[in-house]
Chain A
Amino acid sequence: MSIPVLALEKVRKAFGSEVVLEDISITVPEHTATVFIGASGSGKSTLLRCINLLEQIDDGVIRLDGADITDPSVDPDEIRRKLGMVFQSFNLFPHMSVVENIILAPMRVHSKSREEAISEALELLDRFGLCEKAEQYPDRLSGGQQQRVAIIRSLAVKPRLLLLDEITSALDPVLVNEVLSTVRDLKEHGMTMLLATHEMGFAKQVADEVCFLERGRILEWGKPEEILENPKKPQTQEFLKRVHEAGRL
């Protein structure tokens, strides 16, 4: 069996005395999408931030392509170069145009020439139908367009793994769809992904595996049809019932 892109072994994270992640062990094989579901505060975002080394874990091991990235001698910048991350609040740089946002990392981190970085950025923008927005500033774009630019920005460094942190939570239902179809497109192109989301319908479509998190623990982990349609744990059933009532399934 080949080495998974990402493997977590008994990861634990606490903020002070509050334990937010406990005994998290998962593996993410190449070209698969793993979706985390769970109530707000269940630890989904923290988990993604830990993988990206934006937060330091308190115990356990995180492996990227088999190599331990939680080893203190590892340079976090080196690891983050291989990972793409998209945030709930887009976090585009407001003082830069769309294309400048995208070429920043390729130029400064991967030492590409400006011309090369721009031509690659325009190619990506074209692929996702945002070519005419290249010179615009983020505040002129709709939320959905901003989030798609953020996705493109994280793709521009050709990441090994994409971390998507509730990327549709700040969008209205119409805009959600354009962002989700972008993610679906990535999935079809074989991108390895880790997502935290509240969109159960989307989780069902795109996920190879679904993880239900509650209070920082993985309660259930399996195929989407198992978890989302026939959950075994009462907590998962309760959560899905509440989501269903809120009209999100």
Chain B
Amino acid sequence: MSQEVGRGSENHSDSTPYSFGGSWTPSAVELERRIARKARGRKNSLVAAASSILVLGTLATIVVTSPGWKNLSDTFFKWAYGFEVLPKIILGFGANVFLTVIAATSVAIFGLILALVRTSRSPAITPFRILATIYVDVFRGIPMLLIILLVGFGIPALRLKGVTNNVFILGICAVIITYSAYVAEVIRSGILTVHPSQRAAARSLGLSNFQTLRYVVLPQALRRVTPPLLNDLVSLIKDTGLVSILGVTDAIRAAQIASSRSFNYTPYVMAAGIFLLVTIPLTRYTDRTLRKSIDRQNAQGLA
């Protein structure tokens, strides 16, 4: 098609000017472009399918034809045994869920308080701000496994009166201590991304510092950090498995007990499957929230 056709001028010649959407039919140029696009689309999906079959097929062949495959599938994928111990693992996973719920709630509260203290400029808060900064730096910098060990074995060793020796509670505490530091930083970054002009607008309406935070800054900040917070929730679910080293019977510990009894690793695979059953939908959901929030921000334009 040559350029003389113009940009759809033939469509508008017989209809009234400025009437959009009414009796529009695609022009010959557009129809030709659509055919070309469709052809390219077909070619692309053909290439994608061929390369997927080639790559995945090769990988599968390499794994299945390897000399140790028979052995490996016996130790890791003995499904009959796997399903036999599945109820115990699911029961253990209940502990992970319980840990997650309690920890997530406490972390949300404690993390928010830490973030607020760190972003506050009030002079009365100064000592707390210093403490909060130290807290966040220290607990973000230590591997969580170490904190679980230190809390789980260290606190009972102190033999303090009235302090629990229950490994379950100590495990939860260790998880809360670590994750609060992460979450505080995420929330703080959200608070810092709210433009100062929003604060100025709220203050000039007569809202107090606290009211500005409560009604203007925090709602925007939390909305922006929802995707990273959901990411942290996924990590939290997985990391609750670490408390198994204290002897808490969660999914991992249950799998460990089952596999040590039979020298078969299928229970671990079953435990992995159960974690995935929860984490994959949550990850997909996180992705969708992230995409939505990006769309919303892009649509916002100036403001």
Contacts and interface: CB of A to CB of B under 8 A. Distances in A.
Given A91-B198, A94-B220, A154 B205 contact: yes
Given A87-B200, A91-B200, A108 B303 contact: no
Contacts of A91: 197-198, 200-201, 303
Interface in B171-214: 197-198, 200-208, 211
Contacts of A143: 302
Contact of B201 (A76, A87, A170): A87
A87 B197 contact: yes
A109 B205 contact: yes
Given A93-B216, A104-B215, A138 B205 contact: no
Contacts of B206: 77, 80-81, 105, 109-110, 157
Nearest to A52: B204
A47 interface: no
Contacts of A81: 206
B211 A109 contact: yes
Interface residues of B, number: 23
B301 interface: yes
A13 interface: no
Interface string B260-303: 00000000000000000000000000000000000010011111
Contact of A170 (B208, B216, B302): B302
A140 B302 CA distance: 11
Nearest to A90: B303
Contact of A93 (B198, B200, B299): B198
Given A104-B207, A109-B211, A95 B223 contact: yes
B219 interface: yes
Contacts of B220: 93-95
Contacts of A93: 198, 201-202, 216, 220
B300 A139 contact: yes
A137 B39 CA distance: 42
Q: Bin the interface of chain A by size.
A: 20 to 34
Interface in B146-179: none
Interface string A86-104: 0101111111000000001
Interface in A144-174: 146, 150, 153-154, 157, 170
B199 to A, nearest CB: 9
A85 B204 contact: yes
A10 B96 CA distance: 67
Contacts of B302: 89-90, 143, 170
A83 interface: yes
Given A77-B206, A87-B200, A95 B219 contact: yes
Most buried by A among B205, B211, B301: B205
Interface of A: 49, 52, 54, 76-77, 80-81, 83-85, 87, 89-95, 104-105, 108-110, 138-139, 143, 146, 150, 153-154, 157, 170
13 contacts: A54-B203, A54-B204, A80-B206, A87-B201, A90-B302, A94-B300, A95-B219, A105-B206, A109-B205, A109-B211, A139-B299, A157-B205, A170-B302
Interface of B: 197-198, 200-208, 211, 215-216, 219-220, 223, 296, 299-303
Q: Which 10 A-B pairs have the closest CB atoms?
A: A81-B206, A91-B201, A105-B205, A85-B204, A109-B206, A80-B206, A139-B300, A91-B197, A95-B219, A52-B204
